[in-house]
Amino acid sequence: MKIALIGYGKMGQAIEKLATERGHTIVAKATSKAPVRIADLADADVAIEFTEPSSALKNIHSAFQSGTPIVVGTTGWYNQLDEVKGNCAEANGALFYASNFSIGVNLFQSVLKYTSELMKNYAEYTPSIHEIHHLAKKDAPSGTALSLADIVLDNSDFEEWTDDDEDQTKLKISSERIGDVKGTHEVHFTSSIDQITLEHKAFSRDGFALGSILAAEWVQKKKGVFTMRDMLKNTIG
């Protein structure tokens, strides 16, 4: 498989290492100083994109124009997802996006779904979410935290989330940016007498990198918009 890397920071380099070990070839590397060209994408079987929210949409549309399937790990653009889905259908393209490509995080989400369904019967427990990432991460809360929030909101009396400590009427999401933390997500269910906590902690970027490569392998010859749930539907339900 020939891969075009859009974004060649720490994630891009981790993807390159693991992809090469799996027998794939990197045919293009785009950076903020050398943006991706449609000609670069035309030579690739798939593009893997980890950049910034301000760049992601342009990169997705370039992939649609070139007819190249694209795997997107950038978050912060999902408010335009409906438009992107329409563009994907119009171009007969393929988009695989995820707030987190870690297999462990997606298993964690399934555990949270089960736990949230159980906890909704116990109103004395108030859910909240806390996430920690490295200083260079642009969006806060993280895309993964928002995905976790969607699961909790489906199974609680809260209708929206907030990052305001004073607002007790919404699901609280708090964020920290510390050093080179790869990603920690905690979901708390707190009562006046105890607390139940679910936590996922990433030790390296390899889990995210491997997941994006597996997605790139999986999306070959497919058309449409896909997520990790589509790829893992036989294992996480």
- Per the model's pLDDT, the better-predicted residue between 229 and 163 turns out to be 163
Average pLDDT over residues 164-171: 94
Is the link from the previous residue into 141 a cis peptide, with omega within 30 of 0? Answer: yes
Quick check: is 10 catalytic?
no
Q: Which of 24, 130, 133, 172 is catalytic?
A: 133
Q: Can you give the pLDDT at residue 234?
A: 61
Spatial separation of the C-alpha atoms in residues 48 and 34, rounded to whole Å: 16
Quick check: is 137 catalytic?
yes
Q: Tell me the CA distances in angstroms from 98 to 26, 73, 119, 220, one per residue in order.
A: 21, 6, 26, 16
Percent of residues, the chain, with pLDDT higher than 90: 85
pTM: 0.79
| Burial letters 182-200, b for 16+ CB under 10 A, else e | bbbbbbbbeeeeeeeebeb
The model's pLDDT over 11-36, given as tens digits with 9 standing for 90+, comes to 999 999 999 999 999 999 999 888 88
Q: Can you give the pLDDT at residue 153?
A: 97
User: What pLDDT band is residue 39 in, cutting at 50, 70 and 90?
Assistant: confident
Of 73, 152, 68, 76, the closest CA to residue 116 belongs to: 152
The model's pLDDT over 135-146, given as tens digits with 9 standing for 90+, comes to 988 889 998 999
Q: Which of 61, 120, 134, 137 is catalytic?
A: 137
Q: Can you give the pLDDT at residue 235?
A: 56
Which domains, and CATH codes, for the chain?
2-101+206-236 (3.40.50.720), 103-201 (3.30.360.10)
